[in-house]
Structure 1
Amino acid sequence: MAATTRTTTPAREAGDTWLADCARHPELAHQVWDMDGLAPIHCTHWLAAEAQLSVALQALRRIPQRHRGPLLLDPDLDTAWWLVAPDAAEELADVRLLTVHPAGWPLHCPPTRRPAAGRFWLHAPDGRGRLTDPVHLASALGPGGPRILAEAFG
Protein backbone atom coordinates (compact mmCIF):
# COMPACT_ATOMS: atom_id res chain seq x y z
CA MET A 1 0.00 0.00 0.00
CA ALA A 2 1.47 3.32 -1.06
CA ALA A 3 1.75 6.08 1.47
CA THR A 4 -0.18 9.22 0.71
CA THR A 5 1.55 12.55 0.86
CA ARG A 6 -0.35 15.50 2.16
CA THR A 7 0.44 18.87 0.65
CA THR A 8 0.02 21.89 2.87
CA THR A 9 0.93 25.49 2.43
CA PRO A 10 3.54 26.68 4.91
CA ALA A 11 2.37 28.88 7.71
CA ARG A 12 2.93 32.52 6.98
CA GLU A 13 5.80 34.18 8.77
CA ALA A 14 4.66 36.42 11.63
CA GLY A 15 6.64 39.29 10.11
CA ASP A 16 4.95 38.84 6.73
CA THR A 17 1.54 38.80 8.37
CA TRP A 18 2.30 41.98 10.34
CA LEU A 19 3.72 43.74 7.28
CA ALA A 20 0.81 42.70 5.05
CA ASP A 21 -1.66 43.86 7.71
CA CYS A 22 -0.10 47.33 7.31
CA ALA A 23 -1.05 47.26 3.61
CA ARG A 24 -4.32 48.56 2.23
CA HIS A 25 -5.00 45.08 0.82
CA PRO A 26 -3.21 42.47 2.96
CA GLU A 27 -4.15 39.46 0.83
CA LEU A 28 -2.89 41.21 -2.29
CA ALA A 29 0.48 41.78 -0.58
CA HIS A 30 0.77 38.03 0.06
CA GLN A 31 -0.15 37.29 -3.56
CA VAL A 32 2.53 39.68 -4.84
CA TRP A 33 5.11 38.05 -2.55
CA ASP A 34 4.08 34.60 -3.79
CA MET A 35 5.05 35.84 -7.28
CA ASP A 36 8.42 37.13 -5.97
CA GLY A 37 7.36 40.77 -6.29
CA LEU A 38 7.44 43.89 -4.14
CA ALA A 39 4.19 44.75 -2.39
CA PRO A 40 3.33 48.44 -1.93
CA ILE A 41 2.89 48.96 1.80
CA HIS A 42 1.57 52.45 2.49
CA CYS A 43 3.02 54.11 5.57
CA THR A 44 0.07 54.19 7.94
CA HIS A 45 1.26 52.18 10.96
CA TRP A 46 4.80 53.56 10.67
CA LEU A 47 6.87 55.98 8.60
CA ALA A 48 9.80 55.15 6.34
CA ALA A 49 13.03 57.02 7.12
CA GLU A 50 15.21 56.82 4.00
CA ALA A 51 19.00 57.06 3.98
CA GLN A 52 21.88 56.28 1.68
CA LEU A 53 22.86 52.63 2.17
CA SER A 54 26.35 53.26 3.56
CA VAL A 55 25.01 55.88 5.98
CA ALA A 56 22.36 53.46 7.24
CA LEU A 57 24.89 50.69 7.76
CA GLN A 58 27.18 53.05 9.71
CA ALA A 59 24.24 54.15 11.86
CA LEU A 60 23.23 50.56 12.47
CA ARG A 61 26.47 49.93 14.35
CA ARG A 62 25.69 52.84 16.68
CA ILE A 63 22.16 51.78 17.58
CA PRO A 64 21.81 49.25 20.40
CA GLN A 65 20.14 46.01 19.28
CA ARG A 66 17.11 46.51 21.54
CA HIS A 67 16.36 49.87 19.85
CA ARG A 68 16.56 48.60 16.26
CA GLY A 69 13.49 47.95 14.21
CA PRO A 70 13.08 46.77 10.64
CA LEU A 71 15.65 47.93 8.09
CA LEU A 72 15.00 47.40 4.37
CA LEU A 73 17.91 47.59 1.91
CA ASP A 74 18.11 48.10 -1.85
CA PRO A 75 21.79 47.91 -2.88
CA ASP A 76 20.95 48.67 -6.53
CA LEU A 77 19.45 52.01 -5.49
CA ASP A 78 22.07 52.55 -2.74
CA THR A 79 19.15 53.13 -0.39
CA ALA A 80 17.89 51.90 2.97
CA TRP A 81 14.65 52.48 4.85
CA TRP A 82 14.18 52.35 8.62
CA LEU A 83 10.64 51.80 9.90
CA VAL A 84 9.92 54.37 12.62
CA ALA A 85 6.86 55.38 14.65
CA PRO A 86 4.22 57.54 12.93
CA ASP A 87 5.04 60.46 15.25
CA ALA A 88 8.83 60.30 14.63
CA ALA A 89 8.92 62.81 11.75
CA GLU A 90 9.34 65.81 14.03
CA GLU A 91 12.11 64.14 16.05
CA LEU A 92 14.00 63.29 12.86
CA ALA A 93 13.39 66.60 11.06
CA ASP A 94 16.87 67.96 11.86
CA VAL A 95 18.71 64.86 10.66
CA ARG A 96 20.01 65.93 7.25
CA LEU A 97 20.97 62.43 6.17
CA LEU A 98 17.39 61.13 6.47
CA THR A 99 14.30 61.71 4.41
CA VAL A 100 11.21 60.82 6.40
CA HIS A 101 8.40 60.01 4.01
CA PRO A 102 4.90 61.19 4.94
CA ALA A 103 2.05 58.98 6.07
CA GLY A 104 0.49 57.22 3.10
CA TRP A 105 3.73 57.01 1.10
CA PRO A 106 4.13 53.53 -0.47
CA LEU A 107 7.23 51.56 0.47
CA HIS A 108 7.63 48.65 -1.95
CA CYS A 109 8.57 45.72 0.26
CA PRO A 110 9.71 42.14 -0.29
CA PRO A 111 8.55 39.40 2.07
CA THR A 112 10.46 39.24 5.33
CA ARG A 113 12.47 36.06 4.73
CA ARG A 114 13.61 36.34 1.10
CA PRO A 115 14.70 39.07 -1.32
CA ALA A 116 12.62 40.33 -4.22
CA ALA A 117 13.67 42.67 -7.03
CA GLY A 118 17.01 43.27 -5.31
CA ARG A 119 15.49 44.38 -1.98
CA PHE A 120 15.86 42.52 1.28
CA TRP A 121 15.35 43.02 5.00
CA LEU A 122 18.60 43.28 6.93
CA HIS A 123 16.45 43.40 10.06
CA ALA A 124 13.05 41.99 9.16
CA PRO A 125 9.76 42.75 10.88
CA ASP A 126 9.17 39.98 13.42
CA GLY A 127 5.42 40.36 13.82
CA ARG A 128 5.58 42.21 17.15
CA GLY A 129 5.40 45.70 15.62
CA ARG A 130 8.78 46.79 16.94
CA LEU A 131 10.08 49.93 15.20
CA THR A 132 13.42 51.74 15.25
CA ASP A 133 13.70 54.17 18.14
CA PRO A 134 13.90 57.65 16.52
CA VAL A 135 15.98 59.05 19.41
CA HIS A 136 18.68 56.44 18.84
CA LEU A 137 18.46 56.80 15.06
CA ALA A 138 18.87 60.58 15.31
CA SER A 139 21.73 60.15 17.74
CA ALA A 140 23.47 57.68 15.42
CA LEU A 141 23.25 60.12 12.52
CA GLY A 142 23.27 63.46 14.34
CA PRO A 143 21.86 66.68 12.89
CA GLY A 144 25.00 67.17 10.81
CA GLY A 145 25.60 63.54 9.99
CA PRO A 146 27.99 60.94 11.31
CA ARG A 147 31.05 62.25 13.09
CA ILE A 148 34.61 61.45 12.06
CA LEU A 149 36.27 59.48 14.84
CA ALA A 150 38.99 61.35 16.73
CA GLU A 151 41.39 58.49 15.94
CA ALA A 152 41.23 59.49 12.27
CA PHE A 153 43.18 62.65 13.09
CA GLY A 154 46.12 60.73 14.54
Structure 2
Amino acid sequence: MPGEKTAVQWLASVAPDPEACRREWERDPLGVALLPAGRAWDVLILPGRLGRPTLDVLCRVLDQPGPVLVDVGDARTGFFVPPGTAARWLGTGIRTAGAGTWIVVPYPGRPTRGGVRWLVPPDGSGTLTDPALLELAMHEAAAADRVRPDESGR
Protein backbone atom coordinates (compact mmCIF):
# COMPACT_ATOMS: atom_id res chain seq x y z
CA MET A 1 0.00 0.00 0.00
CA PRO A 2 1.45 3.40 -0.91
CA GLY A 3 2.11 5.40 2.22
CA GLU A 4 1.80 2.32 4.46
CA LYS A 5 4.81 3.35 6.55
CA THR A 6 3.48 6.89 6.91
CA ALA A 7 0.00 5.57 7.81
CA VAL A 8 1.50 3.28 10.44
CA GLN A 9 3.52 6.17 11.89
CA TRP A 10 0.45 8.44 11.95
CA LEU A 11 -1.72 5.85 13.70
CA ALA A 12 0.99 4.74 16.16
CA SER A 13 1.78 8.36 17.06
CA VAL A 14 -1.20 8.39 19.43
CA ALA A 15 0.09 5.44 21.48
CA PRO A 16 1.78 6.12 24.83
CA ASP A 17 4.94 4.56 23.33
CA PRO A 18 4.70 4.74 19.52
CA GLU A 19 7.80 2.60 18.84
CA ALA A 20 6.69 -0.16 21.21
CA CYS A 21 3.22 0.01 19.66
CA ARG A 22 4.61 -0.39 16.14
CA ARG A 23 6.80 -3.36 17.14
CA GLU A 24 3.94 -5.11 18.91
CA TRP A 25 1.52 -4.31 16.09
CA GLU A 26 3.85 -5.75 13.46
CA ARG A 27 4.28 -8.97 15.47
CA ASP A 28 0.63 -9.44 16.47
CA PRO A 29 -0.77 -12.47 14.61
CA LEU A 30 -4.17 -10.76 14.32
CA GLY A 31 -2.59 -7.60 12.89
CA VAL A 32 -4.39 -5.26 15.27
CA ALA A 33 -3.45 -2.76 17.96
CA LEU A 34 -5.43 -1.06 20.71
CA LEU A 35 -5.05 2.70 20.26
CA PRO A 36 -6.42 5.66 22.21
CA ALA A 37 -8.98 7.85 20.49
CA GLY A 38 -9.21 11.56 21.20
CA ARG A 39 -5.63 12.56 20.41
CA ALA A 40 -5.26 12.73 16.61
CA TRP A 41 -8.80 11.57 15.85
CA ASP A 42 -12.15 10.51 17.27
CA VAL A 43 -14.32 7.81 15.76
CA LEU A 44 -18.06 7.99 15.07
CA ILE A 45 -19.48 4.47 14.92
CA LEU A 46 -22.57 3.95 12.80
CA PRO A 47 -24.77 0.86 12.72
CA GLY A 48 -23.98 -1.32 9.71
CA ARG A 49 -27.22 -0.63 7.89
CA LEU A 50 -26.32 3.07 7.83
CA GLY A 51 -22.51 2.83 7.63
CA ARG A 52 -21.93 1.56 4.09
CA PRO A 53 -24.61 3.76 2.50
CA THR A 54 -23.14 6.78 4.31
CA LEU A 55 -19.68 5.92 2.97
CA ASP A 56 -21.16 5.60 -0.52
CA VAL A 57 -22.62 9.12 -0.24
CA LEU A 58 -19.30 10.51 1.06
CA CYS A 59 -17.39 8.90 -1.80
CA ARG A 60 -19.66 10.66 -4.30
CA VAL A 61 -18.79 14.10 -2.88
CA LEU A 62 -15.21 13.67 -1.66
CA ASP A 63 -12.07 12.60 -3.46
CA GLN A 64 -10.88 10.90 -0.28
CA PRO A 65 -12.82 10.58 2.99
CA GLY A 66 -10.88 10.02 6.18
CA PRO A 67 -10.12 6.49 7.37
CA VAL A 68 -13.09 4.15 7.81
CA LEU A 69 -13.17 0.87 9.74
CA VAL A 70 -15.72 -1.92 9.66
CA ASP A 71 -16.13 -4.76 12.14
CA VAL A 72 -17.13 -8.41 11.86
CA GLY A 73 -20.14 -8.91 9.63
CA ASP A 74 -20.21 -5.19 8.82
CA ALA A 75 -22.28 -4.64 11.98
CA ARG A 76 -20.62 -1.28 12.72
CA THR A 77 -18.72 1.23 10.61
CA GLY A 78 -16.27 3.69 12.22
CA PHE A 79 -15.47 7.04 10.60
CA PHE A 80 -12.33 8.88 11.75
CA VAL A 81 -13.20 12.51 12.51
CA PRO A 82 -11.34 15.39 14.20
CA PRO A 83 -10.58 15.07 17.92
CA GLY A 84 -13.27 16.57 20.13
CA THR A 85 -16.10 15.53 17.80
CA ALA A 86 -17.19 12.67 20.08
CA ALA A 87 -17.71 15.02 23.03
CA ARG A 88 -20.00 17.26 20.95
CA TRP A 89 -21.89 14.61 19.00
CA LEU A 90 -25.62 14.52 19.70
CA GLY A 91 -26.83 12.01 17.07
CA THR A 92 -29.10 9.23 18.29
CA GLY A 93 -27.96 5.67 17.64
CA ILE A 94 -24.37 6.68 16.90
CA ARG A 95 -21.61 5.48 19.22
CA THR A 96 -18.57 7.62 19.76
CA ALA A 97 -14.93 6.98 20.68
CA GLY A 98 -13.13 10.06 21.91
CA ALA A 99 -10.83 11.07 24.75
CA GLY A 100 -10.57 8.32 27.35
CA THR A 101 -11.56 5.49 24.99
CA TRP A 102 -9.53 2.97 23.04
CA ILE A 103 -10.30 1.23 19.77
CA VAL A 104 -9.01 -1.82 17.94
CA VAL A 105 -7.16 -0.70 14.81
CA PRO A 106 -5.86 -3.03 12.09
CA TYR A 107 -2.43 -2.56 10.59
CA PRO A 108 -2.90 -0.58 7.36
CA GLY A 109 -2.11 -2.32 4.11
CA ARG A 110 -2.22 -5.85 5.48
CA PRO A 111 -5.07 -8.32 5.62
CA THR A 112 -6.25 -8.91 9.18
CA ARG A 113 -7.15 -12.16 10.81
CA GLY A 114 -9.41 -10.42 13.29
CA GLY A 115 -12.78 -9.00 12.57
CA VAL A 116 -11.86 -5.33 12.10
CA ARG A 117 -10.70 -4.18 8.67
CA TRP A 118 -10.22 -0.97 6.72
CA LEU A 119 -12.82 0.14 4.19
CA VAL A 120 -10.80 3.31 3.65
CA PRO A 121 -7.27 2.94 5.04
CA PRO A 122 -5.42 5.98 6.35
CA ASP A 123 -2.98 7.53 3.91
CA GLY A 124 -0.75 8.93 6.65
CA SER A 125 -1.52 12.56 5.81
CA GLY A 126 -3.93 12.98 8.70
CA THR A 127 -7.00 13.29 6.46
CA LEU A 128 -10.17 13.04 8.56
CA THR A 129 -13.84 13.22 7.62
CA ASP A 130 -15.55 16.51 8.35
CA PRO A 131 -18.30 15.73 10.92
CA ALA A 132 -20.80 18.16 9.35
CA LEU A 133 -20.34 16.50 5.96
CA LEU A 134 -20.59 13.08 7.60
CA GLU A 135 -23.88 14.10 9.24
CA LEU A 136 -25.30 15.29 5.91
CA ALA A 137 -24.21 12.03 4.27
CA MET A 138 -25.87 10.07 7.09
CA HIS A 139 -29.14 11.94 6.54
CA GLU A 140 -29.03 11.30 2.80
CA ALA A 141 -28.26 7.61 3.33
CA ALA A 142 -31.05 7.26 5.92
CA ALA A 143 -33.54 9.03 3.63
CA ALA A 144 -32.63 6.75 0.72
CA ASP A 145 -33.15 3.73 2.98
CA ARG A 146 -36.64 4.92 3.95
CA VAL A 147 -37.78 5.31 0.35
CA ARG A 148 -36.58 1.89 -0.84
CA PRO A 149 -39.38 -0.64 -1.33
CA ASP A 150 -39.59 -3.16 1.48
CA GLU A 151 -39.48 -6.93 1.05
CA SER A 152 -43.17 -7.08 0.05
CA GLY A 153 -42.52 -4.74 -2.89
CA ARG A 154 -44.58 -1.85 -1.48
- Tell me, what secondary structure is at the counterpart of 1:24? coil
Residues 151 and 121 (structure 1), Cα distance of their counterparts in 2 relative to 1, 3 Å cut: closer
Q: 2:13 aligns with which of 21, 31, 43?
A: 21
Runs of 4+ in structure 1 deviating by more than 6 angstroms, as ranges, are none
What is the aligned-residue identity percentage?
A: 26
TM-score by length of 2: 0.78
Deviation at 1:98, TM superposition (A): 1.5
C-alpha separation in 1, matches of 2:136 and 2:64: 12
Q: Which residue of 2 aligns with 1:119?
A: 116
C-alpha separation in 2, matches of 1:70 and 1:30: 18
Aligned: 1:105 with 2:89: no
- Tell me, what secondary structure is at the counterpart of 2:98? coil
Deviation at 1:137, TM superposition (A): 0.9
- Tell me the matched-pair count: 142
C-alpha separation in 2, matches of 1:101 and 1:72: 13
- Tell me, what secondary structure is at the counterpart of 1:13? helix
Residues 25 and 135 (structure 1), Cα distance of their counterparts in 2 relative to 1, 3 Å cut: same
Q: CA RMSD in A?
A: 2.6
Q: Summarize the alignment of residues 5-154 of structure 1 with structure 2, pairs less than 5 Å apart.
A: 13-35=5-27, 36=29, 37-43=31-37, 44-63=39-58, 64-66=61-63, 68-76=65-73, 78-89=75-86, 92-93=89-90, 95-116=91-112, 117-142=114-139, 146-147=142-143, 148=145, 150=147, 152=149
CA contact (8 A) 1:114 1:120 kept: no
Residues 140 and 90 (structure 1), Cα distance of their counterparts in 2 relative to 1, 3 Å cut: farther
TM-score by length of 1: 0.78
- Tell me, what secondary structure is at the counterpart of 1:31? helix
CA contact (8 A) 1:91 1:135 kept: no
Gaps of 5+ in 2: none
Gaps of 5+ in 1: 1-10
- Tell me, what secondary structure is at the counterpart of 1:83? strand
Deviation at 1:67, TM superposition (A): 5.9
The answer to which of 118-127 and 76-85 deviates more is 76-85
C-alpha separation in 2, matches of 1:141 and 1:12: 29
